Amino acid sequence: MKPLIIANWKSNPDSFSKAKELFSQIPKKENVIICPPNIYFSLGGNVNLGSQNCFFQSGAFTGEISPEMLKSLKINYVILGHSERRNYFEETNELISKKVKACLKENLKIILCVGEKKGESLSSVLKKQLSSFQKGVFAVAYEPVWAIGTGQACKSEEAEKALKLIKKKVNCKVLYGGSVNGSNFKDYLKVGFDGVLVGGASLKIKEFKKML
């Protein structure tokens, strides 16, 4: 199985035309999944698409989208528990667990993000955050918060320790994320990660193509 490359565009790019241009340069590959802002889904053509988040039900929940909606649009992947959701939008492990359950019901492929902040104990953070894991979750992405968007990627030997801890607790693919770029991504595959979750570097097409 080829390593998974999952692109998290976050709240980028800032216009429909830029998103169209970016999509036009991404070749369809089985192991590549693009998670754009949801309003750009229609531009995705035949690439594999994922959502960066979703709520746990349809109904009177202004501004939210549900697993059923994703399913109906053939958006097969969903990222849950990203540290930006946890930190800026105060998502708790309880809420993330509800989302995991609801997405599993719709057979969505869940990428559950976990990771410690600087100074936090890795094992106790993993213990708490992996409480949201359920059988059927597609992948866990280990993303140390201090490595996200900082250009200071976690050394692969360090990340390998987290990989081993995660593999001991759960049975699914494990990805690394946090300042992954066209030069360092191979280091994570070498130590045993099943793929990478890429933020900033997925918006720079030259850089991203190095991984593809």
* Chosen residue from 149, 165, 184, 191 binding ligand PGA by CB under 6 A: 149
Q: Is 30 a catalytic residue?
A: no
Q: Which of 91, 116, 143, 194 binds ligand PGA (CB under 6 A)?
A: 143
Which span (50-58, 63-71, 124-132, 175-183) binds ligand PGA, by CB under 6 A? 175-183
Q: Which of 82, 84, 91, 160 is catalytic?
A: 82
Selected from 114, 148, 163, 175, the binder of ligand PGA by CB under 6 A is 148
CB of 118 to ligand PGA, least distance (A): 14
Q: Which is nearer to ligand PGA, 135 or 144 (CB)?
A: 144
Contact flag: residue 187 with ligand PGA (CB under 6 A): no
Q: Is 192 exposed, middle or buried (0-12, 13-18, 19+ CB in 10 A)?
A: middle
The 3 state secondary structure assigned to the chain is: CCCEEEEECCCCCCCHHHHHHHHHCCCCCCCEEEECCHHHHHHHCCCEEEECCCCCCCCCCCCCCCHHHHHHCCCCEEEECCHHHHHHCCCCHHHHHHHHHHHHHCCCEEEEEECCCCCCCHHHHHHHHHHHCCCCCCEEEECCHHHCCCCCCCCHHHHHHHHHHHHHHCCCEEEEECCCCCCCHHHHHHCCCCEEEECHHHCCHHHHHHHC
Pick from 34, 54, 140, 180: which binds ligand PGA (CB under 6 A)? 180
Indicate whether 102 belongs to the interface with ligand PGA (CB under 6 A). no
Q: C-beta of 27: minimal distance to ligand PGA in Å?
A: 20
Instruction: Establish whether 82 is a catalytic residue.
Output: yes
Site for ligand PGA in 11-40 (CB under 6 A): none
Contact footprint for ligand PGA (CB under 6 A): 8, 143, 148-149, 177-180, 197-201
Q: What are the catalytic residues? A: 82, 143
